[in-house]
Amino acid sequence: MHCLSATQFNVFVQMPGSAPSSCLGPWPKDVGIVAMELYFPSQYVDQAELEQLDGVSAGKYTVGLGQARMGFCSDREDINSLCLTVVQRLMERNGLSYDSVGRLEVGTETIIDKSKSVKTVLMQLFEDSGNTDVEGIDTTNACYGGTAALFNAVNWVESSSWDGRYAVVVAGDIAVYATGGARPTGGAGAVAMLIGPNAPLAFERGLRGTHMQHAYDFYKPDLMSEYPVVDGKLSIECYLSALDRCYTVYRNKIHAQWQREGSEKRFSLDDFGHLVFHSPYCKLVQKSFARLMLNDFLTHPSPNTETGPFAGLDAFRDVRPEETYFDRDVEKAFMKASADLFERKTKPSLLISNQNGNMYTPSVYGCLASLFAEHTSSELAGQRIGVFSYGSGFAATLYSLRVTQDHTPGSVLEKLVSSLSDLKVRLDSRQKVSPAVFSENMKLREDTHHLASYVPRCPVEDLFPGTWYLTRIDDKHRREYGRRPLNQDLSSEPEVVRSSTATEHGPSPAKKIPRIPAAAGGPQAAVGN
């Protein structure tokens, strides 16, 4: 491994999770998530009002899907602007220099170019620092792309390629559907994560259960449309079957670890302090949690059906998991049996999902951020957090993170929890719009998202301060962006940058991106993944 230069070390000492000044060891300790930042749009539509507009029965979206509000983007935002916003906020709020980053990975399924990656657009943020030595690229497979990008970053830090700098992982998407039953499962947002050693959220080595299989449950074959093709029933079956298989593999691996340590203990839901899931809609998460209890029950050699969590479940002892995906009796019984555990271990993680909707690749990481927003550092310290990530087509992994024990004031854990503690305030600071206005925005995106020579129409003033936004698309489909100042009193024109600095005349001079200090102000029926 390389030793850090004095310059590199001076950059790193301001943030926890960076490498020490001495030579790096053969395997960095506690590699994982050092810091997180979350961005969601400034506008939302109320799901109860959307039920009325769509003429469906009251409660179909709010109770049936478990959704309260849905965030959405106007024509001012695209995948590039979402990711520019969340990365710059991560760097600003944590006082990081761009030359402290050696890898930048993006996971997204919101494709606006078949060749040019979102990651290359984000490199505009690095221009002032002069740092172009940044590995990584985009990863795509429905909602799983963010997790694949995260694994790539963790593997880089733990590899011989690591040069001692941080990795940054960005998961971002705009989830939109054609008019119909799937539309209320939309949403939008982005999550950025800082990856390094000595992290408050460390990956547990060797504990990943993965399942990948071919299916046409959700896919986007029409490159002129933002909308997917969805087989809702198959999508749910794929999600639940992947959960079953990933949980089986994960348990087998942790049992093998425990046996090597001389323990014959059985793994169950009780061994997770918390569980977060990819959340297309909240009700599916509750059903998924119950499904894990079903797995525990069916694999237990002699479950107690008289008392305890399995009481009264004896009638389901011989069911076959693959025949229960749509069995209402099984679903109802195990949702009831797991209700208390769900309330404690998973429900707090659904804040963003319930209030903003499905974000595709950032969905599961929005749930992780919500979990931290809803707990204190002392409540989280030492906990094992299970993470289930799913992307249609399909790919899935269940893995676990271990929270550091140190929750003292000023610790890396306390700083992480504190940075996410304002999520409720940020959600409540959004602007509510009518379902009619929401529908108009969806129609505008549908008609214009693929156009060249286009100037967005929606007001910049509707965006949160500090948000990057699309200013124009030229006749060669090149996109230009500006950033709304963090200080709303600033009247100067925003800095304008292009998604590519190359022109037909050769490279243009590096654009100066303003260094604005962090400030108080605005935030940042199918599975559909």
Query: What residues are annotated to the active site?
Result: 109, 143, 278
Dihedrals phi, psi of 217, to nearest 5 degrees: -95, -30
283 labelled as ligand-binding?
yes
Question: What is the DSSP code (8-state) at residue 481?
Answer: E
Please give the DSSP secondary-structure letter assigned to residue 146: H
- Residue 382 to residue 5: CA distance in whole angstroms: 33
Q: Are strands 431-433 and 43-46 parallel, antiparallel or unpaired?
A: parallel
Whether 384 contacts 401, CB under 8 Å: yes
Instruction: Identify residue 157 by its one-letter amino acid code.
Output: V
Neighbours of 363 (CB within 10 A): 33
30: left (phi over 0), alpha (psi -120 to 50) or beta: left
* Strand-pair category, 502-503 with 506-507: antiparallel
Q: Tell me if 191 sits within 8 A of 86, measured CB to CB.
A: yes
Closest CA to 290 of 327, 253, 255: 327
CA distance 72 to 44: 6
Sign of torsion over alpha carbons 369, 277, 50, 177:
positive
Q: Please tell me the distance from the alpha carbon of residue 355 to that of residue 369, in angstroms, as a whole number.
A: 13
> Are the C-beta atoms of 420 and 40 separated by less than 8 Å?
no
CA distance linking residue 170 with residue 135, whole number of Å: 14
Asked whether residue 287 is marked as a ligand-binding residue, the answer is: yes
432 annotated binding-site participant: no
Residue ranges at the known binding site: 235, 283, 287
- Binding site, annotated residues for CoA: 235, 283, 287
